[in-house]
Amino acid sequence: MDDRGGSFVAVRRISQGLERGSVYHSSSAEVVAGSAAWLGRGLSCVCVQGRDGDPRPSFDLTPAQEECLQRLQSRIDVAYDSSIPQHQEALKDLWKLAFPEEELHGVVSEQWKEMGWQGKDPSTDFRGGGFISLENLLYFARKFPKSFQDLLRKQVGDRSVWEYPFAVAGINITFMLIQMLDLEAVKPRSIVGETFLRFLSVNESAFDLLYCIAFKLMDQQWLSMRASYMEFNTVMKSTRRQLEREIMVEDITSLEDLPSYSLLSQ
């Protein structure tokens, strides 16, 4: 905890890839307290904030776009609740997809730290992302299993000695996208938000797909900036700016047209 409030857990990378039993253990000397950049237990926003006085245009929606936005907002409104059996099962499914070779001993277990949760109970990390952040991780694991495993196990690139925790970073990305796209507003107040709704109206999984793109892009930015845990906030801001630039390119008609989409096939 620092004097600005909030805290995060940075993870020291012992060797290339995920060394089981040696990573993400808060009881070891590998854990460092830092700033509120991590969207973990304190759920401090890591996103780029708009300036006071910025013009906020409003866009009219077609009935189809309005319906799609409302369905997505309904997903965003669902909090993760460990007392709901379906939520517990979804969390167990995530473990099976992440570590199919290892049996999970319980929904509350020290094993979760291996995935990059801050403690033995992942439910405490869902406060800012809600259930949709778990759905995003599940979609990523099922739709792009190689990319998911590459990021989980830090298998690509010259990694930092102090790496970002995978799962907590994933919650950051969900929260960042909700803010970037202004999804809690009645209707979009930015060109980026309006453009995304056009993608959403033809692909109901557009938010989940954009999440996968954003996660891969964030990792690429992390590597290209040779970042370590203190630069995570800077990496997230850079990721958001790059996504906004790509979405606003005139000839982009779907998320698959975004330049960063190709990262998912690498």
Q: For residue range 58-103, what is the model confidence (pLDDT) as tens digits? A: 678 889 999 999 999 999 999 999 999 999 999 999 999 999 999 9
Task: Report the greatest alpha carbon distance in the chain.
Answer: 55
Average pLDDT over residues 10-29: 34
Q: What's the CA gap between 153 and 144, in Å, rounded?
A: 14
CA 83 to chain centre: 23
Strand order in the sheet with 162-163: 31-32, 10-12, 162-163
Q: What share of the chain is helix, strand, coil (3-state, %, to 5)?
A: 50, 5, 45
Q: For residue range 133-176, what is the model confidence (pLDDT) as tens digits? A: 999 999 999 999 999 999 999 878 777 667 899 999 999 999 99
10 pairs with which residues across the strands?
Answer: 32
β-bridge pairing 162-163 and 31-32:
unpaired
Torsion over CA of 12, 151, 45 and 127, rounded to 10 degrees? Answer: -100
Please calculate the CA angle 193-195-201 and round it to the nearest 5 degrees.
100
Give the per-residue pLDDT at 163: 84
Would you say residue 3 has pLDDT above 60? no
Q: What's the CA gap between 67 and 133, in Å, rounded?
A: 21
Residue count of the chain, please give it.
266
Q: What's the CA gap between 256 and 243, in Å, rounded?
A: 13
Q: For residue range 110-132, what is the model confidence (pLDDT) as tens digits? A: 999 999 998 999 998 987 689 99
